[in-house]
Amino acid sequence: MKSDTITKYVLFISSVVILLVSGGMVFSLIGDAVPVFEKFGWRFITSTEWNPTEGRESYGALPFIAGTITTSVLALLICLPMAFATSLFIAEYFRKSSFASVIGSMVDLLAGVPSIVYGLWGFYTLRPFIVELGLDPQGYGIFTSGLILAIMIIPYATSLSSEIISMVPNELKEAAYSLGATRLEVIKYVVIPNARSGIIASFILAFGRALGETMAVTMLIGNANIIPTGLFSTGNSMASVIANQFGEADGLKMSALIAIGLLLFVITGIINAVGKLVIKKMS
Please say which residue, 14 or 53, places its beta carbon nearer to another protein. Answer: 14
Least spacing, CB of residue 58 vs another protein, in Å: 22
Q: Which of 213, 220, 245, 256 binds another protein (CB under 8 A)?
A: 213
Distances (CA, A) of 99 to 94, 103, 127, 160, 281: 7, 6, 31, 19, 33
CB-based contact 129:211 (threshold 8 Å): no
Query: Which phi and psi (to 5°) does residue 182 adopt?
Result: -80, 170
Q: By the 8 A CB rule, do 217 and 237 touch? A: yes
Q: Which of 160, 165, 201, 257 binds another protein (CB under 8 A)?
A: 257
Q: Considering the rule CB under 8 A, would residue 184 count as an interface residue with another protein?
A: yes
Looking at the Cβ atoms of 65 and 187, the one nearer to another protein is 187
Closer by beta carbon to another protein, 124 or else 231 = 124
Window of 51-59, 76-84, 137-145, 222-230 that interacts with another protein by CB under 8 A: 76-84
Across the chain, how many H-helices and E-strands are there? 13, 2
Return the H-helix or E-strand segment holding 137.
none
Contact between 211 and another protein by CB under 8 A: the answer reads yes
Put residue 223 in one of left, alpha, beta given phi > 0 → left and psi -120 to 50 → alpha: left
Region near another protein per CB under 8 A, out of 49-57, 135-143, 225-233, 269-277: 269-277
**81 touches another protein (CB under 8 A):** yes
Residues 6+ apart with CB under 8 A from 267: 211
Give the 3-state DSSP-derived string for 31-53, with helices as H, strands as E and coil as C: HHHHHHHHHHCCHHHHCCCEECC
Q: What are phi and psi of 213, to 5 degrees?
A: -65, 135
Span 12-71, contacts to another protein by CB under 8 A:
12, 14-15, 17-19, 21-22, 24-25, 28-29, 32
The residue count for binding another protein (CB under 8 A) is: 88
Q: Which of 8, 51, 97, 229 binds another protein (CB under 8 A)?
A: 8
CA atoms within 13 A on the CB side of 51: 10
Q: Which is nearer to another protein, 55 or 283 (CB)?
A: 283
Tell me the closest approach of the beta carbon of residue 55 to another protein, in angstroms: 25
Pick 66 or 88: Cβ nearer another protein: 88
Does position 162 interact with another protein (CB under 8 A)? The reply is no
Of the listed pieces 40-48, 55-63, 137-145, 238-246, which binds another protein according to CB under 8 A?
238-246
Q: Are 259 and 37 in contact (CB under 8 A)?
A: yes
**Burial of 248 from C-beta contacts in 10 A (0-12 / 13-18 / 19+):** exposed
Residues 90-129 that bind another protein (CB under 8 A): 93, 103, 105-110, 112-121, 123-125
Smaller CB separation from another protein, 55 or 81: 81
